[in-house]
């Protein structure tokens, strides 16, 4: 059963009760991420997320870690391009303890300069680690080509130079600007009694006040011409990411977009996986994925191949994309894709964290609870013609943006250093 309460200050508390479970998953979601930054504070959202765990007025960083460990279960946090989330999955009996911890982190984190300096080194190492892992780094290189100077084209972690210049005043200023009550959604799924859960938060959150400012609007990115960036690096494999603009998370055709991705490269029976890996053995890793944001999105294809196989693989990808636009998918192929997506949805109901994440994202993007039956019906309505038309809409607009990383000097697809 789903329930929602809006506190007088605007903070939303939502729950999906599953009394048969003995666990509960809790998430504190903030509608703020790396796209809400500019060139001089890139990486702030991620740095603030780290600092929330590095000491409050009544708990040291070590005490925070110890208390989360004693709870068992799992606890973590993440920053994406449009959201920041603190989350934990614990035994239902530990709900009051984890709520008290989250309240303390949100309200009382001190952002001490000595802790900032320690965490700065951790984040700089995190940046280095991503840059040393080519199948991670290629996604940042691609985003920079696709979105250009828009914040979506920046890395979530920020640059070495900006992170090195962060201090307590700058981070607290960012938190004060964006951690406002209109952007906070508290979600829980599992063995949760809604009214009892609300009461755990209500008194403490009364101190959080609305910003009193107009809502901070996001600027939609411009759609740029297709670009190409080949970054030569002495690696064993070439890592290629190519794609184009897609649909936002709220687009009415989002379920067709999801199925299009599954059919193209979203699972082991997809066209790209079968053609490039299974039939020809050109790549160990080949897949497509979609990234959808509140006002835009993209579809991308990743492959890791030997340098000698790059051009042949790219030609096969283009052929499969062309077929998707010209020839309707078969009834059986579409039915299999539907079954794949629906099975994933049903299996996700067994994971309380996934359920919690689903209701939180629905609240952030749609402002309402979306029943599973509504999603299943929308998936069933996607037709062969819808997939073909959507393929033309996505891939027929312009060429593909391509990012390549590795030993690519002699591939004939250009180079950048």
* pLDDT tens digits, 347-404: 999 999 999 999 999 999 999 999 999 999 999 999 999 999 999 999 999 999 999 9
Q: Structural domain boundaries of the chain?
A: 2-205, 228-406
Residues known to be catalytic: 49
- Which of the listed CATH numbers 3.30.565.10, 3.10.20.90, 3.30.830.10, 3.20.20.220 matches domain 2-205? 3.30.830.10
* CB-based contacts of 105-108 (< 8 A; 24+ apart in sequence): 105/52, 105/53, 105/56, 105/64, 106/28, 106/52, 106/179, 106/208, 107/204, 107/207, 107/208, 108/56, 108/57, 108/58
| Cβ contact 226:124 at 8 Å | no
Confidence grade of residue 294 (pLDDT, cut at 50, 70, 90) = very high
CATH classification code of 228-406? 3.30.830.10
pLDDT exceeds cutoff 80 at 286 = yes
Higher pLDDT, 407 or 409: 407
| Separation CA 52–CA 29 (nearest Å) | 13
Confidence of residue 206 (pLDDT cuts 50, 70, 90): confident
Burial (0-12, 13-18, 19+ Cβ within 10 Å), 35:
buried
Please answer whether residues 193 and 211 qualify as being in contact, where contact means their C-beta atoms are separated by less than 8 angstroms. Answer: no
Q: Please say if the pLDDT value at position 217 is more than 90.
A: no
The mean pLDDT value of the chain amounts to 94
Dihedral class, residue 43 (left if φ above 0, else alpha if ψ from -120 to 50, else beta): left
Tell me: the pLDDT tens digits for 164-190?
999 999 999 999 888 999 999 999 999
**Fold match flag (2-205 vs 228-406):** yes
What's the angle, vertex CA 353, arms to CA 347 and CA 354, rounded to 5? 40
Indicate the pairing of strand 401-406 with strand 228-232. parallel
């Amino acid at each position: 059963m789903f329930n929602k309460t809006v506190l007088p200050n605007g903070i939303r508390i939502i729950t999906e009760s599953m009394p048969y479970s003995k666990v509960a998953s809790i998430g504190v979601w903030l509608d703020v991420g790396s796209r809400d930054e500019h060139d001089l504070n890139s990486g702030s959202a991620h740095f603030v997320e780290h600092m929330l765990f590095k000491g409050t007025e009544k708990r040291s960083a070590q005490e925070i870690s110890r208390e989360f460990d004693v709870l068992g279960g799992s606890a973590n946090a993440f920053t994406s391009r449009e959201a920041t989330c603190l989350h934990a999955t614990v035994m239902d009996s530990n709900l009051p303890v984890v709520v008290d911890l989250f309240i303390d982190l949100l309200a009382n984190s001190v952002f001490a300069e000595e802790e900032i300096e320690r965490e700065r080194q951790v984040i700089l190492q995190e940046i280095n680690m991503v840059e040393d892992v080519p199948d991670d780094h290629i996604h940042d290189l691609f985003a920079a080509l696709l979105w250009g100077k828009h914040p979506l084209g920046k890395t979530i972690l920020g640059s070495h130079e900006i992170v090195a210049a962060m201090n307590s005043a700058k981070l607290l200023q960012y938190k004060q600007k964006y951690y406002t009550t209109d952007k906070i959604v508290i979600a829980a799924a599992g063995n949760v009694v809604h009214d009892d859960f609300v009461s755990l938060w209500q008194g403490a959150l009364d101190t959080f006040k609305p910003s009193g400012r107009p809502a901070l609007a996001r600027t939609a990115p411009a759609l740029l011409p297709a670009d190409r960036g080949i970054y030569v690096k002495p690696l064993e494999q070439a890592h290629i990411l190519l794609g184009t603009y897609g649909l936002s998370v709220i687009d009415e055709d989002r379920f067709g977009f999801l199925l299009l991705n599954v059919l193209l490269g979203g699972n082991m029976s997809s066209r790209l996986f079968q053609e490039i890996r299974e039939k020809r053995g050109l790549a160990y890793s080949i897949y497509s994925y979609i990234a959808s944001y509140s006002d835009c999105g993209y579809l991308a294809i990743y492959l890791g191949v030997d340098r000698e196989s790059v051009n042949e693989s790219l030609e096969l990808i283009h052929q499969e994309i062309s077929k998707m636009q010209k020839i309707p998918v078969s009834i059986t192929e579409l039915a299999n894709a539907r079954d794949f997506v629906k099975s994933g949805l049903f299996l996700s109901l067994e994971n309380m964290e996934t359920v919690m994440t689903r209701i939180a994202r629905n609240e952030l993007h749609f402002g309402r609870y979306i029943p599973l039956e509504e999603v299943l019906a929308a998936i069933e309505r996607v037709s062969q013609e819808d997939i073909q038309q959507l393929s033309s809409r996505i891939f027929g607009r312009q060429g593909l943006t391509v990012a390549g990383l590795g030993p690519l000097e002699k591939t004939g697809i250009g180079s950048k250093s």
